[in-house]
Structure 1
Amino acid sequence: MPHSYTSEYPANVPVEAGIKTFFEAFYQRSDIAGEHEKYADFFTNSATVFVGSRNAVGREEILQLREDMWKTVAIRLHTPLKIFPFGTGADEIMLYGIVDYTFKDKREASLEWAARAKLVKEGDIWKMDFYRVYMDTATAR
């Protein structure tokens, strides 16, 4: 079965289709090595990003963080399982998923992650202005 970036959403909370499309495209782009500029385009120019213990503020730091995240990774595959908007019309979102890694040294790992995102609309385009990813590397399978 082909991999899907489609997530489950709460049945009783309407979510703008553009937000669903945003997250599908974001995690798909996250899994493409070398496309650092396109990845950074998902964020505002002044966005704050935390991934585990690392943080970045602004486009240049986000680009550096992104490059660093790929230094030891050969393949990354996100499966965003559930996305929880904070009510109808919300631009603040909680997310839950799994990420599978194949490292350049051939080791493999699978981690559960959770995240909090704050979205803003620039014209007709959704972007993240804040993104914090929580991972427990001690639970790697």
Structure 2
Amino acid sequence: MGYGIDSAEWPTGIEVPSPVKQLIERFYQLLDNSDPEIGYLLAGEIFADNGVAYFGATPFSGTEEIRNSRVNAWKVISMRKHEVLKVYLCDKNASDLLFTARVAMGLTNGRNVEGEFTGRLVIADPQTASPKLLLYQVWGDTSALVNALREG
């Protein structure tokens, strides 16, 4: 493991399978990469064909929408770094996870913001070598970002 999940606190008593942890790690590596082709990698490597990704309040459903979901992701952001803080299991097979995390962002106007958020990951085939995300949804206070964009 490494990027973004090293310091995370994982559940005790029920083991989250290594492929699920690797999926989460790879997911955040991709989200923090500004390459314009990242949407294709998210759609191919991370999400199931019928997956849904809520990036902010907007849902992107299925392969084609997820492929195109990152087109404007870096319009006002110059740097992004996610860090998972704590993971909670909602079931015994690790197919439904809640988590808390932190994100730090550098903005194109020179401002920097960071904050914590909460999210949910629903995972297809969590007990296999190749799990995929069925759902990614997050909730957080975006006022610091909105204010930093307004001030810049």
TM-score range, shorter chain: 0.7 to 0.9
Q: d(CA) in 2 for partners of 1:44 and 1:4? A: 22
Deviation for aligned residue 1:3: 6.3
Deviation for aligned residue 1:71: 1.7
- Are 1:124 and 2:125 matched, yes or no? no
Query: Going by fraction, where is strand more abundant, 1 or 2?
Result: 1
Question: Residue in 2 aligned with 1:135?
Answer: 140
Deviation for aligned residue 1:55: 1.2
Q: Does the aligned pair in 2 maintain the 1:85–1:94 contact within 8 Å?
A: yes
Q: Does the aligned pair in 1 maintain the 2:47–2:133 contact within 8 Å?
A: yes
Selected match of 2:88 from 80, 84, 89: 84
Deviation for aligned residue 1:110: 0.4
Question: Residue in 2 aligned with 1:21?
Answer: 22
Deviation for aligned residue 1:75: 0.6
Question: Residue in 1 aligned with 2:13?
Answer: 12
**Under a length normalisation based on structure 1, what TM-score does the superposition of the two structures give?**
0.87
- Are 1:56 and 2:60 matched, yes or no? yes
Moved over 4 A (4+): none
- Alpha-carbon spacing, 1:3–1:56, altered in 2? closer, same or farther (3 Å): closer
Selected match of 2:39 from 29, 36, 39: 36
Selected match of 1:109 from 94, 113, 116: 113
Deviation for aligned residue 1:93: 0.6
Q: For residues 113-140 of structure 1, give each alpha carbon's deviation from its aligned partner in whole angstroms, at most 9, with x where no partner exists.
A: 1111110129731110111111211255
Q: d(CA) in 2 for partners of 1:87 and 1:59? A: 26
> Which consecutive residues of structure 2, in runs of 5 or more, have no partner in the other structure?
none
**Under a length normalisation based on structure 2, what TM-score does the superposition of the two structures give?**
0.81
